[in-house]
Every structure is written in C-alpha cells, then in structure tokens.
A and B are shown apart, each in its own frame.
Chain A
Amino acid sequence: MGKSHISNNIRKLRFFRNEMTQQQLAEKVGVTRQTIIAMEQDKYSPSLELAFRIAHAFEVPLDEVFSYHPEAEST
C-alpha cells in the first residue's frame, strides 16, 4: 500500500493549462478535489475511465498524463 506504481503529470499539466486549480480539474472530470490531490501525490491510481477523462480534459494522449513503473513493484 502507499505509493502507487503509476505516476502522473497532472500537476505539471495543470500548470501549463493556465494554472488550472485542482477544484477546476475535479469539476471537469467529475470527482472531488481530494481525489485529485491523492492522485498528484501518487496515493491513488484512478480507474481507466477517470484516467481517460483526465487526459481528455487536458487534450493530450493518455500516456502523456500517466506512466507505469513496474520496477517499483520489486523495491
């Protein structure tokens, strides 16, 4: 438990989208701000649908938002 093996660039992408707030992103993708915070801190890996909604909100492909690090499993 704890840190996920999936990392993301949500914080960076928000910054490059006119410093979009966590609340604005949360409203755009239909979750609470707490969930956005948890994802930014790598404390929660979203469902596939939510991942696509976030990528769609930033208008970028999914792999520009999320990346998987399998090596983290063995450490």
Chain B
Amino acid sequence: MSFQEKNIAVSLSIFVAILGLYLVRVFQMVQNESFNSTNMFRLWGTIAVLAVVGTILATIFTHIVGGIVHKVRTNEDPHIEDIQDERDQIIDLKGTRVAYTFSSIGVALSMLTFVFGQPPLIMFSLLIFFGVLAQVIADIWRLTLYRRGF
C-alpha cells in the first residue's frame, strides 16, 4: 500500500467516525427534544473543525506511524513517497469529481425538504450530512481506483 493509499484510508476512517458522531448527536438531539438551531449550528461548527483537524492529523499520523511500521518490519530507514505523481493527481481529481457529484445531489435533496414544507433546520442538517457522506464516498472511490486501476 502506497503512502497516498494509506493517507486516504486514514482520512476515510476519520470521516466515517465524524459521520457516525454526527448521526449519533442528531439522533440524541431528536430524542432529547433539543433539536434546535443553536445546538445544530454548534454541531455544524464541531463537524467543520473536526474535519479540518482530522485531515491534518491523518497526514501526520500516516507519516509517523507508516515510518515506524516500515522501520520495524524491514529495519530500513523509511522511504516515504510523498510526491504526488500524475496517477495520484488523476485519482485525486476523479475522487473530487465524485465528491462534487454527491454534494450536488445532496444539496438538491436538502432543498427538496422545503418543497415538503419542512423547516430550514432539516435542510441544514441534511446539507452537512451529505457533505461528509460525499467525502466518505470520494475516499472509497479513490481507494477503489488505486486497487482496481483505470
């Protein structure tokens, strides 16, 4: 597994955890009848911060842990392929395209809630859900392309 693949796998794990956390928190809020705009926007902020910090930590974690594992397994100094060549860039772009597609579908579905007379809070909840879900799907797609080829 290349450095890029490890990085995507760690990022995927983090975003799945963020998505899980988000769903659990929303479910809790609905159960406690505290599903209001104040709590929802606080959760929005938390998710945004977690996503940014998570992405940075994923890169650092992959560098450090990948280096340690390589050293232990082969007793050689780690050779981290941190360059992004043309194949990595194409896979990254294809993943980004998938993310945009799912985000767009998500935005359209979120807007549909207005059509059905739902309050804006539902729309905002769905927006961030589809945003994180798009990132998860894009990471899965990138890993698939690395494994299967294109």
Q: Which residues in A have some Cβ–Cβ distance to B below 8 Å?
A: 1-4, 30-35, 38, 41-44, 46-47, 50
- CB within 8 Å of A: which B84-125 residues: 85-88
- Interface SS majority for chain A: loop
Q: How does the 8 Å CB contact mask read for B1-42 relative to A, with 1 for contact and 0 for none?
A: 011110000000000000000000000000000000000000
Q: How does the 8 Å CB contact mask read for B69-93 relative to A, with 1 for contact and 0 for none?
A: 0000000000001010111100000
Cβ A50 vs Cβ B86 within 8 A: yes
Q: Which residues in B have some Cβ–Cβ distance to A below 8 Å?
A: 2-5, 81, 83, 85-88, 146, 148-150
> Which of B3, B88, B149 is within 8 Å of A3, CB to CB?
B149
Residues in A whose Cβ lies below 8 Å from that of B148:
1-2, 43
Q: Which residue of B5, B88, B146, B149 has the most chain A CB atoms within 10 A of its CB atom? A: B149
The 6 closest A-B pairs by CB, nearest first: A43-B149, A31-B85, A34-B2, A32-B81, A35-B87, A1-B150
Residues in B whose Cβ lies below 8 Å from that of A42:
149
List 23 A-B pairs, Cβ < 8 Å: A1-B149, A1-B150, A2-B148, A2-B149, A2-B150, A31-B85, A32-B88, A33-B2, A33-B81, A34-B4, A34-B5, A34-B87, A34-B146, A35-B85, A35-B86, A35-B88, A38-B87, A38-B149, A41-B149, A42-B149, A43-B150, A44-B149, A46-B87
